[in-house]
Amino acid sequence: MLFVGPGLFLTGCEGDPAENGADAEDPSNAIAVTAPSAADAGKVMFRTGSDEELKQALQISRDVLSARLQPMGIDPNDLEVKRSFVDDLQMAHTHLQQTLGGVPVFGGEAIVHLSSSGKLFAVTDSLLRNVNVNLEASYTSDEAVDLAVGAYGCESCLTAEPEVDLWVLRQDGRDHLAFRVQLRREDGTDKTSMPVIFIDAHTGTVVWQYENLQTGSGTSLYSGTMAINTYQSGTTYYMEDIPRKLGTFDNRNSTSSTYRFTDTDDVWNSTSQKAGVDAHYGAEMVMDYYKNVHGRNGIDGNGGPGYYTSIDGVTPLITSIVHYGNNYANAFWNGSYMTYGDGDGSTFTPLVSLDIVGHEMTHGVTERTANLTYSGESGALNESMSDVFGAMIERAAQGESSDTWKIGEDCYTPSTAGDALRYMDDPHLAGDYGYTTNDDPDHYSERYTGSSDSGGVHINSGIFNKAFYLLAKGGTHHLGGTMTGIGADQAAAIWYKALTSYMTSSTNFAGARTATLNAASALYGATSTQYTAVGTAWDLVGVAGSGGGGGSGSELVKNGGLEGTYAPFAGTGHSYYTASGSYPHGGTGYAYLGSVNYANGTFYQDITIPSTATSASLSFWLNVTTSEGTSTAYDKLYVEVRNTSGSLLSTLVTYSNKNKSSSSSTYTQRSGFNLLAWKGQTVRVQFRGTTDSSLTTTFRLDDVSVK
C-alpha cells in the first residue's frame, strides 16, 4: 500500500507519472515492467543467506532507496544495517536503521524486500523525513541518568543499574537529541515497574516517558476480572496504558465534560469503573490483535490517533470515553475517538462488550485505510468490516465459540438470554424491522435498496458478513450451494489485506469481491484453494464480479482491476504499471502503453478457456490521451490473441490516437470480443502499443475481463 506510517510502497507505486502537457505520461518516475530475458528466466540470486548474498541484497537495497531519500532529507550514508536475512521463499529482506550523524533515529527504519531474482518486491518505510537537530549534547549520560531517576522519584527502589543510550527522538512534531534511560524495579511488590524516560540532551527536561510494566486489575461487566495496564503518578493510578498509548475516560453521563478515571489501589471495582474496565480491556485486545495478527500499529497504523494526552503530559492516547449521555443506547467512532453509552437497561446495557469495542475501533481502521463511504453498499461494507474484526478480536482474546459469530450478544436485551444484535452465521436471525422480507439479508437478491439506514449500511452488512462466515467456516446457503471453509485466520488475513490495500471509498459489493480475490491472490496465489474459496463464498451470497460486463460466466482474468500489483499480468518493453495513479478507471491501479516516442511495449496475461465454456467475452476499459491529431492513426494499440509462445493467432481490434478520450480520466468500455474459438486452450490476451517518432500517445488500460 501507499505510505501510512510504517507501510509499504508496492512495486510501481511511485504515483502516476506526471503528464507531458495534457496528453502523454512521462515514464521516468514509473516502473518499467519487462519480461525476464531467457538468461534471467528462473534465475535465483538468493538461496542460503550467505554473507555474499546479503552484501548483494544490501547494495540493491541502497540503490532502491537512494532515489527516495533525497526528498526526505535523508543522507543514504545515514542508513545502517539492522538485520538482513533470506527467508524460506528465497526473498531477501534488508532492515535498515535510520541515523543522523551516527545517532539512531527513534522509530526511523526501512525494510527493502527483494524477490529471489533480486528484483524489487516492496519497501517497508518508517523513515522520518527531514530530521534536524543539534547533535552536540549539553548533558552527559550520567547526568541524564540522575535526571531520570529524579523524575522517577525513588532511587533506592531500583533493583538494577539504569541503562542509557542516545537517540534522536521526534516528539509532538519536534526533533530532540535525547538520552533514553531505562529503569527497573522488580521488588515483588505492586510497585514493580520498568519505566523508560527520555531526557532532552540540551535542556535536561523529560521529553517523553512510558511504563514498560504497570499492570492493574479490574472487574468488568462482561469479561470477569482481568489484568489491565494502568499508569501511576504519585499515589494515584490512572486508566492509561502508556506502552500501547491507550486511555479510557469518563463522561459521567454528560455529553461535554470528560474526566480521568483514577484509583488509589489499582483495583478497579466500583460501579462506575466497571464499564471503563471493559472499554480499556477491549481497546488493549484490539491493539494487540491488529499488531500481532496483522502487523498494524494502532488505528492509523502509526500508533494513533491520539486525542487526550496522558497524565504524564507527553503521551498522546488513543481515547475511549464511557458513560456518555443519559441512557444513551449506542456507541460510535467520531473520527477521533470512541464513545460508549450506558444503554437504556432494556434494549442495551452499557455498550462496552469486547466485540463492540472491536467494532468501533475498526471503524477507525477503515477510515484510515479504504475510508469506505458510510452510505449504500460501501457503507454496508464499512459496517461489516467492523462486525468481522469485532468477532475476530473477541475470538483472539477469548477463543472461538458459537458467540464468536454473534454481534453485541453480551449487552443486547439483557432480559433475553442467547440473542444478539446481528448474527454473522445466519443474518436472518436478527430482529425484523420490516426493511426487507428477511432482515437482515444474506444474499444480494434480498438486499435493501431504500434510503433508510443511510441506504442500508447496517441492514445489508449481513451479505458481507455471511460471505466471510462461509469463507471461514464453510456450510450451506439457504438459497443453494455448499462450500468448505478455509478457517477464520486465513479468511481474516484476506479481508484485512482487501480492506487496507485493495478497496477505495466507493467500493461496492462487486468491487469487494474483486478486492478480496486480489488479496487472496497476493497472499496465497491466484491458483490457490483460498482464492477459489473466496470466489465460491461470493457466488453463494449472489455477488458477481465487477470485471467489465463482458459475459455472464466465471471470470477467467486474474486481478483484472490491477489493484496492488501488476501480477499475474506481464509486460515487455515500454509497458508501465502504477498501483496508485491519478487516472484509474476503478480502484487505484492500471497499466499503460506508449507515453514516449519510439515506444513498443506489450501487456498481457495467459488465460485458460474451459472446454465446457459457453461464453468467453473479452472486455476492458480504455483511455487514450494524445498530442497527435485525430485525423491520422500515428500511434496504435493492438488487441491480440496469441499462443503462450507469443505467436499471433488473431488481432481482435486496433485503436489509435484517433480514438482520443475527452480527458485523462475518461474511460470507454470496449467489449464483445468473443474468444470461444479457443475454448479448451490456454491463450495469451495481449495489448500491444506502438508510437512513432514525434508527439506521444498514452493508452491506459483497466478492469480487464474475460467471462
The CATH number assigned to the domain holding 582 equals: 2.60.120.200
Statement: residue 14 has pLDDT above 80: no
Is 152 found in the same domain as 103? no
Lowest mean pLDDT among 24-33, 248-257, 291-300: 24-33
Give the range of the structural domain holding residue 89, as residue numbers without chain letter: 34-125
pLDDT number for residue 7: 23
* Residue where a domain terminates, one of 125, 156, 180: 125
Statement: residue 34 has pLDDT above 60: no
Is 702 found in the same domain as 576? yes
pLDDT number for residue 553: 53
Catalytic status, residue 155: no
pLDDT number for residue 191: 58
Statement: residue 438 has pLDDT above 80: no
32 neighbors 25 (Cβ within 8 angstroms):
no
pLDDT number for residue 27: 35
Is 632 found in the same domain as 590? yes
Strand partners, 120: 114
Q: How far apart are CA 436 and CA 446, in angstroms?
A: 7
pLDDT number for residue 76: 80
Statement: residue 462 has pLDDT above 90: yes
* Residue where a domain terminates, one of 90, 125, 160: 125
Lowest mean pLDDT among 90-94, 157-161, 350-354: 90-94
Is 81 found in the same domain as 48? yes
pLDDT number for residue 153: 86
Q: What is the mean pLDDT of residues 10-14?
A: 26
Look at residue 381 and give its three-state secondary structure.
helix
Statement: residue 6 has pLDDT above 50: no
Domain membership flag for residue 49 = yes
Domain membership flag for residue 693 = yes
Per-residue pLDDT reduced to its tens digit, 378-423: 889 999 999 999 999 999 999 999 999 999 888 888 878 888 889 9
pLDDT number for residue 121: 61
pLDDT number for residue 111: 67
- Structural element, H or E, at residue 80: strand 79-86
Look at residue 454 and give its three-state secondary structure.
helix
Q: What is the mean pLDDT of residues 469-495?
A: 94
Domain count, the chain: 3
Rg (CA), the chain: 28
Is 56 found in the same domain as 151? no
62 neighbors 84 (Cβ within 8 angstroms):
no
Per-residue pLDDT reduced to its tens digit, 549-559: 333 357 889 88
Residue 697 CB-half CA count within 13 A: 27
Domain membership flag for residue 558 = no
User: Comparing 256 with 289, which gets the higher pLDDT?
Assistant: 289
Domain membership flag for residue 664 = yes
Is 691 found in the same domain as 574? yes
Per-residue pLDDT reduced to its tens digit, 627-638: 998 999 999 999
Domain membership flag for residue 338 = no
CATH label of the domain that carries residue 86: 3.10.450
Q: What is the mean pLDDT of residues 149-173?
A: 89
Is 110 found in the same domain as 59? yes
Is 169 found in the same domain as 113? no
Q: What are phi and psi of 27, to 5 degrees?
A: -80, 5
Statement: residue 285 has pLDDT above 90: yes
Q: How far apart are CA 283 and CA 61, in angstroms?
A: 37
Catalytic status, residue 458: yes
**Considering the chain, what is the average pLDDT of its residues?**
83
pLDDT number for residue 219: 53
Per-residue pLDDT reduced to its tens digit, 614-628: 778 899 999 999 999
Most confident of 372-376, 413-417, 445-449: 445-449
Q: Assign 154 a pLDDT band (cuts: 50, 70, 90).
A: confident
Q: How far is CA 7 from CA 4, 300, 707, in A?
A: 5, 11, 35
- Structural element, H or E, at residue 309: strand 308-309
* End-to-end C-alpha distance for the chain, whole angstroms: 29
Statement: residue 256 has pLDDT above 60: yes
Q: How far apart are CA 102 and CA 98, in angstroms?
A: 9
Q: Assign 9 a pLDDT band (cuts: 50, 70, 90).
A: very low
Domain membership flag for residue 356 = no
pLDDT number for residue 5: 24
Is 90 found in the same domain as 47? yes
Q: How far apart are CA 562 and CA 560, in angstroms?
A: 5
Most confident of 141-145, 323-327, 606-610: 141-145
Domain membership flag for residue 120 = yes
pLDDT number for residue 316: 95
384 neighbors 316 (Cβ within 8 angstroms):
no
Nearest to 663 by CA among 702, 623, 703: 623
Q: What is the mean pLDDT of residues 507-528?
A: 83
Q: How far apart are CA 526 and CA 510, in angstroms?
A: 18
Q: Assign 40 a pLDDT band (cuts: 50, 70, 90).
A: very low
pLDDT number for residue 573: 86
Environment class of residue 514 by beta-carbon count within 10 Å: exposed (0-12), middle (13-18) or buried (19+)? Answer: buried
Is 702 found in the same domain as 574? yes
Among 14, 360, 555, 628, the one annotated catalytic: 360
Among 93, 323, 458, 574, the one annotated catalytic: 458
pLDDT number for residue 193: 66
- Report percent pLDDT > 70 for the chain: 87
Amino acid at 348: F
Strand partners, 576: 32, 592
Is 184 found in the same domain as 72? no
Q: What are phi and psi of 533, to 5 degrees?
A: -65, -40
Domain membership flag for residue 648 = yes
179 neighbors 139 (Cβ within 8 angstroms):
yes
Is 684 found in the same domain as 581? yes
Q: What is the mean pLDDT of residues 478-485?
A: 89
* Residue where a domain terminates, one of 201, 234, 251: 201
Q: Give the rounded distance of the alpha carbon of 171 from its chain centre.
A: 25
